[in-house]
Amino acid sequence: MRPFQRQRRGANAVEFALTLPIFLLLLRGIVDFGWMFYYKAALNSAVYDACRAGVTRDPGEGRADISVVYQRANTALEQSLAEVGFDDLPTDPVYSVYTLASSADVPVIVLQCDMTIPWTPLWGLVEGRDLRGRSVIRMEFQRAAP
């Protein structure tokens, strides 16, 4: 009975050698996409924290102290990025304050915070791109229209 059976020695090693490159390629792609999603989530969180810190500062009558609002938002952005380990990112956010709508007495003023950062993959399976974070929050200090 023994001569009619096929020899199976080394079959597992051959199958492993054939599937290992595909498995490693998939694993590298998963790690690259995970790194990109982590970067994007950290950026969105930092931009939200910056915008939230900015809207709690009174911009003054006629938005005279708007630079203080921007400075407070910038400080919060840098702190939030440093907490997640992104100290070396260029922090060049764009802040905008505008009137979204007006009711009879009180205009609705919002602070919009935008930031774009370059992202490069760890292994290059995903192409590098710029990641963008945006947050729009209503200012807490509303002034009645004159």
Would residue 143 count as lying in a domain?
Answer: no
The pLDDT score that the predictor gives to residue 22 is 95
Return d(Cα 59, Cα 143) in angstroms, integer. 10
Q: Which of 128, 46, 48 is nearest to 89 (CA)?
A: 46
Would residue 108 count as lying in a domain?
Answer: yes
Q: Which of 45, 43, 54 is nearest to 110 (CA)?
A: 54
Q: Model pTM? A: 0.77
* Structural domain span for residue 53: 8-138
10 DSSP 8-state letter: T
Would residue 1 count as lying in a domain?
Answer: no
Return d(Cα 26, Cα 94) in angstroms, integer. 37
pLDDT at 1 over 60: no
Would residue 130 count as lying in a domain?
Answer: yes
Phi and psi torsions of 95, nearest 5°: -110, 140
What stretch of H or E contains 42? helix 11-55
Tokens of 34: 């995970």
pLDDT at 112 over 60: yes
What stretch of H or E contains 130? strand 129-138
Tokens of 136: 């729009």
Return d(Cα 89, Cα 84) in angstroms, integer. 11
The pLDDT score that the predictor gives to residue 126 is 74
Tokens of 16: 């492993």
Domain count, the chain: 1
pLDDT in tens, 30-64: 988 888 899 899 999 999 999 999 888 777 777 77
